[in-house]
Structure 1
């Protein structure tokens, strides 16, 4: 039981996050786009789904924390990890610009830093029309 919690505990939190993010989302339609480039929203959802499936497959083969312990001594692994987390500031800044609320950034902060692109892809998919509208 303890090893199952260690192996899948974060995935339970991720399911809660996704259900809350989708369930509490207001504004544009969740899964279909009625804005510019409407085919983009299903593509973002497909990228999220494929990345989720890949992540679950990897998780079934190897524990994330065990891998992290092996990678940590390698300096380039640290640099890549730091680069990822610095890069996650960009979607958080976009969330701030789009929502206009520091509270929304704080609500997304933990999921983004724990689940990285699995969280940012959810935000992009849910808010696709609004984000694209800034650029067209």
Structure 2
């Protein structure tokens, strides 16, 4: 029963919440935001050129990269925030309780975006070889 629950709500590769759990957490975060008059943000992240890596160097290396990206993203956020794997090479970060001011929340979301970009600039080690990757990000 526990394994079925885990597989229903978590990505087995990265151990992050999957799309189903992400939707649930987004709904809860939105309801809490409205109830408490607080702002939040959603960051959509997509690894650039992931398909090329996956197809030319193999799915094993692609999986290694996805796991390392997940670890770095988790290292960037606070405990109440959510990092989820939306699917493929797409990740979502849900930032909660960024304050009451839209301007302040936007500034804090931008800071988090910059922190994530800085974390991704360092090379990833795939079977001992350094590999740089970039990502595209959208924030709302």
With normalisation by structure 1, the TM-score equals 0.31
Q: Which has the higher contact order (CA 8 A, sep 6+)?
A: 1
With normalisation by structure 2, the TM-score equals 0.31
Name the structure with the higher strand share.
2
Name the structure with the higher helix share.
1
